[in-house]
Amino acid sequence: MKPKILKTETDYRLALAVVESLMDAVPGSAEEEELELWSLLVERYEQQQFPIDLPDPVDAIKFRMEQEGLRQKDLAKVLPGKNRVSEVLNRKRPLSLGMIRSLHKHLQIPAEVLLGSQ
């Protein structure tokens, strides 16, 4: 099969089989270049057919807190005060632009995720 834009489920399945057959390609070989091309085609098809929505901003904050072992009082250094943190995490207050900037800077949460429900 020659590389081509994947438009159908059948094309996709065939492309996956080609990718699998090339997985042991020697680095720097023509097969490795072919593997990279097929991988890009598969990735493009998957992005179009199986899009992944951005997470909810509050869920993203809670997830990052869990990852970093942070508690609400730790977040009070990033957001203005304990009450504000509680209000945001309980969805009683929307994120302001200043909060979004601070969370992005200090917790490295992508801004597009934090802007999600704005």
In this predicted structure, what is the pLDDT of residue 116?
Answer: 80
Helical H segments across 1-117, by residue range: 9-21, 30-49, 57-68, 72-75, 82-89, 97-107, 111-114
Rounded CA gap, 28 and 72, in Å? 49
Q: What is the pLDDT of residues 28-60, one digit of tens each?
A: 999 999 999 999 999 999 999 999 889 999 999
| 117: pLDDT strictly greater than 90 | no
Whether domain 57-114 has CATH 1.10.260.40: the reply is yes
Rounded CA gap, 54 and 70, in Å? 22
| 21: pLDDT strictly greater than 70 | yes
In the chain, domain spans: 9-49, 57-114
Give 35's contacts (C-beta < 8 A, 6+ positions apart). 19, 22, 23, 25
Spatial contact of 29 and 36, defined as CB atoms under 8 Å apart:
no
List the one residue out of 43, 75, 47 whose CA is nearest residue 62.
75
The answer, as to whether pTM is greater than 0.85, is: no
Residue-averaged pLDDT of the chain? 93
For residues 80 and 67, the model is more confident at 67
Confidence of residue 81 (pLDDT cuts 50, 70, 90): confident
